[in-house]
Structure 1
Amino acid sequence: MSRPIARVLMLLELLQSGGLRTVAELAARLDVDERTVRRYADHLLDLDVPVESVRGRHGGYRLTSGYRMPPLMLSDDEALAVLLGLVAGQRAGLMTATGSASETAAAKIRRVLPQRLGHRLDAVLGSLAFTAPPSTPAAPETAVLLSIADAVRHHRPVSIKYTAADGRHSERTLHPYGLVAHAGRWYVTGGDPAVGEDRTFRLDRIADARTLPGTFEPPTGFDPAERVLSGLASAPYRHEVTVRVQGTAEHIRARLPAGVALVEELPSEGSPDSETGRWSRVEMRVDRLDWLPAVLASLDRPFTIERPDELRGLVARFAARLADSASG
């Protein structure tokens, strides 16, 4: 979009925000002179946008009272940002139970765009690839998500109806500290006043969320994302894995993120500044072990398996396959 057209649309956006805008103010916001502002206002009048000119010392421009703008007017950058956001959210599993909403919203935007811009956006979306999408995204109900988000913002307690992974139903009060989106799922973490502990719940397992009277004060410095990731890493699974790796916690976390492993850097056995003198303990809880040998090999560091014994055999067989491939 050419700069004059983009600035005309920007002028329209400024006027649509309401009130009287002086010519000097508009000129500063658009980075043009006052004469150009008046020319842009004439362009809007040519498009049947009812711009009123107010004369006098404090005069300027405003839209006619009661005028309703067309439902959608986007610049190239705005249209691309909206459509990419919708597509990325859908691919990442960041949607509500009404999963078709993002598709219908994108279709509505696409229908009202000029043909030239629509073809260009189709080219972007058609050539775009996303890596590692969530395997089984779990979408919450829209009403649940909005109710809890409002409670987080205003520090209001909520009553939730929750179904646990084993099918048990419960109704409890929660002081929600924050919402977290991770791997195609939504989580809320907060305080459970009935047990005096912090808890984390999946939003797709919440059937109803109702705001309660009163307020609460969230703990200072609480990080909802960190709490959710550490909770996922320490949740009970079939196998408990402990490995000592020669390397820094930073190096290991680059390949084993917080949602997968708990990493504790051990006291240095050599020079404090030496990478080879540092060891870290890695703890994981997993349902399957077959993917771990390749991940441990990707660390490119010496390691010692503390548990389970079954993992040692898997690593030995993986190493033998690599050796056979290299010799062949």
Structure 2
Amino acid sequence: MPRPVARVLTLLELLQSGGLRTASELADRLGVDERTVRHYVGHLIDLDVPVESVRGRYGGYRLTPGHRLPPLMLSDDEALAVLLGLVAGRRAGPASTTGTASDTATAKIRRVLPERLRLRLDAVLGALAFTAPPGEALAPDTAILLPVADAVKHHRPISIRYTSSDGRRGERTLHPHGLVAHSGKWYMTAADPTAGEDRTFRLDRITDVRTLPGSFEPPEGLDPAERLLTALATAPYRHEVTLRVQGTAEHIHARLPAGIAIVEEPPSPGDGDTGTERWSRVELRVERLDWLPAVLASLDRPFVIERPDELRGLLEAFAERLSHSARRDPPQA
């Protein structure tokens, strides 16, 4: 592409980023003088690009508000970044959108790429490997996601139709606080004014959303992600487990994530500590106990089981199996 044409396209990209750009700023970015900038602006106007000239001490150039812009143009680096983001999104789950939208978006971008860049991209994708299998996330329906997000932003109450995990259907009026992507699923945190409590809802279980008149004031210092993790960790399950672990919350959460366990560190040293490191209280609610002995062993920290007693037996059996394996001789070739 001839350099003057490339500079005209670069000028358009700068104006598309928004705001008022002075002639001197544009000249510096393009590596030309201000007279040439005015010449390039004339080229854009000839192409029906709505460039507006603002006169005065603080004047410059900008795109006229409210006009449709020409098709999106990406540099080589931007195109590669977008395509790699789409590929990573399909693997991660929540980053992808509904259905095959990421696939069709990838195909559209690839069709307009220069052959040189397309071949390089194919080389990157052919050499790229992932350490985890593709995510099996439940992609949110845009008809649900978009109105919920709008209600969160503008503090609007909503009415939803929801199917709970046990199959019960109902309609609720909520004050939505935030959207959270967690472990391949999308969640909404909200206040239920009728029940007077905070709740979390999976977006894939919402079948209809209606924005209601009025507005609400969200609570200060609200962290939707933290609220979701706490709700997941305190959800009712078959077993309630309480432990004391000699270690910090950071170390414990490395093996027992916040969505599984609630960790309370003592406020100051000396709260019943018997070692150099303080003892933290850990609470879990789980459906099964058989996976916990291996995880507790991987903490590599002293711990005490407060409840349930059934976990003690599983831990003793696990320790016996480890001890037996340590005493075994290797099999003969």
Please classify the TM superposition score into its range, dividing by the shorter chain length: 0.7 to 0.9
CA pair 231-130 structure 1, distance change in 2 beyond 3 A: farther
Partner of 2:199: 199
Question: For 1:277-316, what aligned pairs fall within 5 Å after superposition?
Answer: 277-316=277-316
Partner of 2:101: 101
Question: For 1:62-101, what aligned pairs fall within 5 Å after superposition?
Answer: 71-94=71-94, 98-101=98-101
- The amino acid that maps onto 1:284 is L
CA pair 271-227 structure 1, distance change in 2 beyond 3 A: closer
DSSP 3-state at the match of 1:12: helix
Residues in 2 aligned to 1:100 and 1:149: alpha-carbon distance in whole angstroms: 21
Q: How many residues align?
A: 323
- The amino acid that maps onto 2:233 is A
DSSP 3-state at the match of 1:281: strand
CA pair 245-36 structure 1, distance change in 2 beyond 3 A: farther
Residues in 2 aligned to 1:220 and 1:60: alpha-carbon distance in whole angstroms: 41
Contact persistence 1:247–1:276 (CA under 8 A)? no
Question: For 1:78-227, what aligned pairs fall within 5 Å after superposition?
Answer: 78-94=78-94, 98-132=98-132, 136-227=136-227
What's the CA shift for 1:111?
Answer: 1.4
Question: For 1:6-17, what aligned pairs fall within 5 Å after superposition?
Answer: 9-16=9-16
What's the CA shift for 1:82?
Answer: 1.5
What's the CA shift for 1:226?
Answer: 0.5
Contact persistence 2:91–2:133 (CA under 8 A)? yes
Residues in 1 aligned to 2:221 and 2:292: alpha-carbon distance in whole angstroms: 34
DSSP 3-state at the match of 2:276: helix
- Report the TM-score when normalising by structure 2: 0.81
Residues in 2 aligned to 1:66 and 1:219: alpha-carbon distance in whole angstroms: 35
- The amino acid that maps onto 1:268 is P
Query: Which sections of structure 1, spanning at least 5 residues, go unmatched?
Result: none
- The amino acid that maps onto 1:287 is E
What's the CA shift for 1:16?
Answer: 4.0
DSSP 3-state at the match of 2:262: strand
Partner of 1:32: 31
Partner of 1:268: 269
CA RMSD of aligned residues (A): 3.8
What's the CA shift for 1:289?
Answer: 2.1
Partner of 2:235: 235
DSSP 3-state at the match of 1:170: strand
Listed one character per residue, the Cα deviations across residues 227-286 of structure 1 (whole Å, up to 9, x for unaligned) are: 0000001111122221211112222123222111000113634899x9733111111111
Listed one character per residue, the Cα deviations across residues 171-227 of structure 1 (whole Å, up to 9, x for unaligned) are: 111110111110111111111111121111111100000101111100011111110
